[in-house]
Amino acid sequence: MGNGLAGQSVLVLGARHLGTAIAAAATAEGARVHVASHRPGGLHIDLRDEATIAAAAAELGAVDHVINTAASPHAVPIRELDRDKTVDAFTAKVLGPLLLAKHFTIRRSLLLFSGQVGWRPAAGSVVTGVTNGAAAFAARHLAVELAPVRVNALSPGIVDSGAWDAKGEAKPGFLATAAQRTLVGRTGTVADVTDAVLWLLQADFLTGETIHLEGGRR
């Protein structure tokens, strides 16, 4: 990608899996990267607590790019829906980014994360699907609200980022099945995602869009 991010400041929300990889990729491009998490240590931002967002914004000052990778999945049948977990899911994907836009002075771009389940309804995934779909709409509306700051969403498919490790011995079969359902015959890699993120941070004529990074799964 060259050195298009050299000297620019990037705030990454989420210190696990993709968030860590994105932070490393942006650092390699010359950006000054801040990683925020709700966990103790480091820059503290809990998207459920607006005061932590305001405090971090005051501490960092203006930033060039903000990337929200936070997620709080609640994939259950509708009869098993838990209200508080549903609120957390919406907070991670939608309300949190709105509060980030409210408190942070963003100079160049805001990038949200959606996901392919938003476009593929299935039993047991209503909360995950609706929150991912809402993230795409949030990007579209925030693009108007924050213009000329660019706002986009990235919607990955199944990516072997470490998030599926909890499946244990079932993981290889899960990934193989997911690969067969794409047009390109494979699942995503962390590099696929970081490459797309770096491009989106520098795509100065793109805003209000959702980029589907899922090998044609839809």
Domain boundaries, the chain: 9-161+190-212
Residue 3's pLDDT band, with cuts at 50, 70 and 90, is low
CA 71-10-191 angle, 5° bins: 65
Note the pLDDT of residue 16: 83
Distance of CA 54 to the CA centre of its chain: 20
Angstrom distance (rounded) from CA 164 to CA 173: 11
Residue 7 pLDDT greater than 70, yes or no:
yes
Note the pLDDT of residue 1: 46
Q: What average pLDDT is seen over the chain?
A: 95
Angstrom distance (rounded) from CA 33 to CA 9: 6
| Mean pLDDT score, 29-40 | 94
Note the pLDDT of residue 42: 86
Residue 12 pLDDT greater than 80, yes or no:
yes
Enter the pTM of the model. Answer: 0.95
From residue 178, give the alpha-carbon distance in Å to each of 116, 150, 175, 184. 12, 32, 5, 11
Question: Tell me: the pLDDT tens digits for 144-154?
Answer: 999 999 999 99
**9-161+190-212 CATH, one of 3.40.50.150, 3.40.50.720, 3.40.640.10, 3.40.190.10:** 3.40.50.720
